[in-house]
Chain A
Amino acid sequence: MENSKTKIVLGVIGADCHAVGNKILNYAFTAAGCEVINLGVLVSQEEFVNAAIETNAKAILVASLYGHGEIDCRGLRDRCQEAGLGDILLYLGGNLVVGKADFTLVKKKFMDMGYDKVYAPGTLPDEVIDDLKNDLSKRGILM
């Protein structure tokens, strides 16, 4: 049944209007059996959180492609906690910072902000889908 599928919220955060990858991820996660609540581009933190509350989503997948990831993504975990979604899975990927930076450092920075997974540019959807399956099954949820 449509409504028993695991729900995930997907969107491109901040003043970022890169729509192509968003459509690919929407397709890939739907094909993998999730119900994707796709918020599209130009999504604020508040909208991610509100969508997850109403739909009872198990994960929020945030993309940031335009290099302002650090400013836009900071504080999302706090907001989730504030809204009673405390331990919801937060995944993040894209071109998170401008220029050539060591990805291990970038990853650490965002993991410290409370994201459960942080992906480098060029990661394929399958890797993320596998991670999500694992993380959900650890919580007793089948995707």
Chain B
Amino acid sequence: MKNVLLIDFGSTYTKITAVDVDREEILGTARGVTTVETDITEGLNQALKVLFSQTGKLAFDKVLGCSSAAGGLKMVAIGLVSELTAEAAKRAALGAGAKVLGVYCGELSEYEIAEIADLKADIILLAGGTDGGNKEVILHNAQMLATLHQDVPMVVAGNKSVAPQIVKILSTEMSEVEHTENVMPKLNELNILPARETIRNVFLKRIVQAKGLDKANKMVDRMVMPTPAAVLKAAELLSKGTDSEQGLGDIMVVDIGGATTDVYSIAKGNPTNATVYMHGLPEPFAKRTVEGDLGMRYSAVALLKASGAKMIADYAKASESAVNAYIEKVEGDIDYLPQTEEEAGIEIAMGKTCTRLSAERHAGYLETYSTPCGMTQVQTGKDLTEVKVVIGTGGVIINNAEPEAILQGIEFDSANPLTLKPKNPEYLIDSQYIMASMGLLSEEYPDAALRMMKKYIIRGNQSWT
């Protein structure tokens, strides 16, 4: 018997999962309130007390943690052209599990520097230029960033030819400047893994302490990564499998929260139709997008603005005025839960709308050109039509009575056939909320983590292995 404790320090709750790695079983889960302002171990102890009341006193061989507490990992991404290195930098930050506060391109102005200063990022990622390409702009931007007069940890991932100069310029003002491989070494060639890794290292070294999470160190062996990075890792493992245990192939994961909706896809996303041309930046195999205007509470009004009342009302089979009234209510009282059948229906419809819009933005799309060579289709982004497994995780989905109804928003829409969403997915629910924990566990026990996800992430009431 080998017990491991996995901790997710969330913005509101500290969620813990105790597992027996040898038997590949969950011993218990519990949560306490996150107490990052005072002492983070208070909330953790509170959760442990709840856990032990179910399981009896347990000893742990290993304790691993991930965190999105104190605002998560807040980042600013800077590149040269908005569709190229700035986009690559943004994707690297998202893949590292960050909340991206701003993306900047071109030469930074004094106004933008003031704006960046106000954003108070935990880490700034500076990219720009392909290797051997443009040098002037990233040099200019480094010089401007040196006038921030904030000691922000910097990750430099731009044109390698000027990396030493950039590091030198930034090091005059910042105490933590790490450089890594270019996020776009050649045009249209995405290389975000080294930047992701460096961001994660800086997070461990600096941010954990800065956010008061290091107080947990006396109880936690290792604070491994930001929570979204743990979910991405778990999803990647579940998709790809290990040497000894098969994965599920292409999958998507949806996590709806009060303020944002996260979508993950683990798939190459190549065209399913051989005659289609690919266009634009290549997509990361493991891709995460975050929509800051799609959420159930803090972002409820923004959601309404993005979708219009009709979409939600149609899903809920309610009137538009009822939708407007409900959204006004939950915006004013974020702890509000649906009290009537109609409200419950609107709540599900809001979730379905979050899923739909976030999936539409995440998935690739086709454009049709009539050319002298006939009709030609061009694909930008990932073709996810053949993704067969969609997983719902996070409180909003797993605590809902009809999680599948919320996830159905991800489905391919024949009225909008150019958006390449999954055609016939099967829905699985992370009902015990273990994905982030399993991402942590996979650091040390990938096979056990994979088998436990297969066992505990289920369809309806049955395991699907």
Contact = CB atoms under 8 A, between A and B. Distances in A.
Interface of A: 2-4, 7, 15-18, 35, 37, 39, 41-42, 50-51, 53-57, 66-67
A41 B371 CA distance: 12
Contacts of B133: 7, 54-57
A4 B131 CA distance: 10
B161 A3 contact: yes
19 contacts: A3-B131, A3-B160, A7-B132, A7-B133, A15-B369, A16-B372, A17-B371, A17-B373, A39-B187, A39-B188, A50-B81, A51-B187, A53-B80, A54-B129, A55-B129, A55-B132, A55-B134, A56-B130, A56-B134
Nearest to B371: A15
B131 A66 contact: no
Interface of B: 80-81, 83-85, 128-135, 160-161, 184, 186-188, 277, 279, 369-373, 376, 378
Contacts, number: 67
Contacts of A56: 129-130, 132-135
Given A51-B187, A67-B372, A42 B130 contact: no
A92 to B, nearest CB: 18
A2 B132 contact: yes
Contacts of B135: 56
A18 B277 CA distance: 12
B184 A54 contact: yes
B378 A42 contact: yes
Nearest to A68: B372
Nearest to A35: B132
B119 to A, nearest CB: 25
B134 A54 contact: yes
B456 to A, nearest CB: 45
A16 B187 contact: no
A123 to B, nearest CB: 21
A15 B187 contact: no
A55 B371 contact: no
Contacts of B83: 50
A66 B135 CA distance: 37
B378 A66 contact: no
A89 B55 CA distance: 73
Nearest to A98: B372
A54 B279 contact: no
A134 to B, nearest CB: 23
Contacts of A55: 129-130, 132-134, 187
A2 B131 CA distance: 10
Contacts of A35: 132
Contacts of B81: 50, 53-54
Given A18-B373, A55-B130, 6 more contacts: A17-B376, A42-B279, A53-B81, A54-B129, A54-B134, A56-B130
B134 A53 contact: yes
Given A17-B376, A50-B81, A50-B84, A37 B132 contact: no
A60 to B, nearest CB: 13
A66 B373 CA distance: 9
Contacts of A39: 187-188
Contacts of B187: 37, 39, 51, 54-55
Nearest to A50: B81
A17 B373 CA distance: 7
Most buried by A among B129, B130, B370, B378: B130
A67 B373 CA distance: 12
Nearest to A38: B187
Contacts of B184: 54
Most buried by B among A3, A4, A7, A41: A3
A42 B371 CA distance: 10
B106 to A, nearest CB: 9
A2 B83 CA distance: 25
Given A50-B83, A54-B187, A4 B132 contact: yes
Given A50-B81, A54-B84, A54-B134, A42 B277 contact: yes
A129 B426 CA distance: 56
Contact of A54 (B80, B160, B161, B370): B80
Nearest to B84: A54
A66 B129 CA distance: 33
A16 B84 contact: no
A50 B88 CA distance: 14
